[in-house]
Amino acid sequence: MNLELRHIEKRFGPTVANRDISLLVESGSIHAVLGENGAGKSTLMKIISGFIAPDAGEVLMGGDRLPPGSPHHSAAAGIGMLHQDPLVFLPMTMLDNAMLGSDRNTRTAAEELADVADRLGFHFRPDVPAGRLSVGARQQHEMIRLLWLGVRVLILDEPTTGITEAQREQLFAALRTLAGEGLIVLFVSHKLEEVAELCDRVTVLRHGLVAGETELPTPPLRLVEMMFGRSVEPVARKRIPPGEVVLDIDRLEMAEAGVGAGPISIGVRRGEALGLAGLEGSGQRLLLRACAGRLRPASGRVLFEGADPVTRSDKIHYVPAGRLEEGLIPGLTVTEHLELTAPDDSFTIDWGEAEERAGSVIAAYQISGTPETLADVLSGGNQQRLMLAMAPDNARLLLLEQPTRGLDLESARWVWSELDRRRSAGATVVFTSSDLDELVAQSDRIAVFFAGEVVGVVESSTATTSELGHLIGGLAPGVSS
């Protein structure tokens, strides 16, 4: 049973998200959809799954036209979507999440879900609240649920963002199994190496249009040129001599929501980029929140420029991984977000001037939008640019969770160029990343977390991803598990 798109069109105000997109995906295939941030990938996937109604065009499953903008009819036709952030209720157990909206037998559901998990090489944990699981584990559970409900088309939007290498390997093995059983897998990604490793065919979007389509394998340079209309050269990271210690972490112990970490002692220098590596939930996020003054230590201390971070909040900027959950406010425009962080402490706002300032920031940070664009309408890459634009120029400590999460090559390149600019001006950067290559490439030093402790601090100039992988797993380098 094939999936077909015919002349799909979608606009959001003046922004064209999809323009005359036609596509045929055959059963039993793993089909990649590539494109830079804002190319229209996520919008197209939401149209296929019924979350968004197109302005024109149609979606057909097995030759039958699906009613537009109807998740119910799309699900009934066998289409399911795994979003970049799995759609689960965090306080509820995974079994309760799976049962939402289902009329299946509750007495046999756990056993049936476990059978699906076994088939994929996953582990189903029915009684565990979703909030206690990592993003990768929630993702696996959501895949189990969709397959249990009988999907024949599985859409995955940036599925490897924020998961471990072991989880990635499990995911790819499961997707190959599903394609072998005749399912259609639509794999949305910005990672060329993963597309080349997994997929049979790729469609590339650029500015809402189909820029090209090809069988795989194909030279990566060709895909890059289709994505951006040109080649994208890597930029060597700027090496900045570090100054004095400005962030002093001394025997710090922290706890939040039942997760603890510490004791941790480390000094971070002015102009330095310190990467934090480790499995999700190992303590990196707790450390960032403590350094931002958002989490009070259980014991020990953290000082920035000799003072409690709470008293230095005007010099500290925290960029969380959850863009719309913690970093931005859905329903507010770009202008309104920038005014919230503006240094002006006046009780009134001249909205004409505010929109002019927003226009200048949009140009400087290359945000694809207007001053009136809602933050939640922006693509992930443009939301990331907006959050960085909200960081005051005088910020001296930048704390970032997964700063290039879900970003395409060009957007990630821009983020690190901006952070290098700020480090050159005297800022210190501390960041987490699940991408070991990124940690090695963008850090001066890397602090590796395991089970709430820092098990090693390595110089990035001599570090290898193999060494980091062993430390992250709790092993000494060179020791097999």
SS3 readout for the chain: CCEEEEEEEEEECCEEEEEEEEEEECCCCEEEEECCCCCCHHHHHHHHCCCCCCCEEEEEECCEECCCCCHHHHHHCCEEEECCCCCCCCCCEHHHHHHCCCCCCHHHHHHHHHHHHHHHCCCCCCCCEHHHCCHHHHHHHHHHHHHHCCCCEEEEECCCCCCCHHHHHHHHHHHHHHHHCCCEEEEECCCHHHHHHHCCEEEEEECCEEEEEEECCCCHHHHHHHHHCCCCCCCCCCCCCCCCEEEEEEEEEEEECCEEEEEEEEEEECCCEEEEECCCCCCHHHHHHHHCCCCCCCEEEEEECCECHHHHHHHEEEECCCHHHHHCCCCCEHHHHHHHCCCCCCCCCCHHHHHHHHHHHHHHCCCCCCCCCEHHHCCHHHHHHHHHHCCCCCCCEEEEECCCCCCCHHHHHHHHHHHHHHHHCCCEEEEECCCHHHHHHHCCEEEEEECCEEEEEEECCCCCHHHHHHHHCCCCCCCCC
pLDDT higher than 80, residue 230: no
Identify which has the larger pLDDT, 452 or 190.
452
Q: Average pLDDT over the chain, rounded to whole? A: 87
Q: What percent of the chain has pLDDT over 70?
A: 95
Side chain identity, residue 318: Y
pLDDT higher than 90, residue 336: yes
What is the pLDDT, as a whole number, of residue 281? 75
Distance CA 260, CA 281 (A): 9
Mind listing the pLDDT tens digit for each residue in 134-178? 777 888 888 899 999 999 999 998 888 667 677 788 889 999 999
Mind listing the pLDDT tens digit for each residue in 21-79? 999 999 999 999 988 777 888 899 999 999 999 999 999 999 999 999 999 999 999 99
Mind listing the pLDDT tens digit for each residue in 388-412? 899 888 899 999 998 887 677 777 8
408-49-378-157 Cα dihedral, nearest 10 degrees: -20
Which residue, among 120, 173, 176, has the nearest Cα to 146 in the 3D structure? 120
What is the pLDDT, as a whole number, of residue 106? 78
Q: Are 48 and 158 in contact (CB under 8 A)?
A: no
pLDDT higher than 80, residue 202: yes
What is the pLDDT, as a whole number, of residue 234? 58
What is the pLDDT, as a whole number, of residue 443? 94
Mind listing the pLDDT tens digit for each residue in 261-318? 889 999 999 999 999 998 777 889 899 999 999 999 999 999 999 999 988 888 999 9
Q: Are 443 and 275 in contact (CB under 8 A)?
A: yes
What is the pLDDT, as a whole number, of residue 361? 92
Q: Is the pTM of this model over 0.75?
A: no
pLDDT higher than 50, residue 456: yes
Give yes or no for a cis peptide into 217 (omega within 30° of 0): yes
Identify which has the larger pLDDT, 193 or 152.
152
Mind listing the pLDDT tens digit for each residue in 101-115? 787 887 899 999 999
Name the phi and psi angles at 330, rounded to 5. Answer: -55, 135
Confidence of residue 478 (pLDDT cuts 50, 70, 90): very low
Q: What percent of the chain has pLDDT over 90?
A: 49
Mind listing the pLDDT tens digit for each residue in 468-477? 877 887 665 5
| Exposure string for 215-228, b = 16+ CB within 10 A, e = fewer | ebeeeeeebbbbbb
What is the pLDDT, as a whole number, of residue 87? 78
pLDDT higher than 50, residue 480: no
Which residue, among 89, 86, 116, has the nearest Cα to 100 in the 3D structure? 89
pLDDT higher than 50, residue 481: no
What is the pLDDT, as a whole number, of residue 373? 92
pLDDT higher than 80, residue 345: no
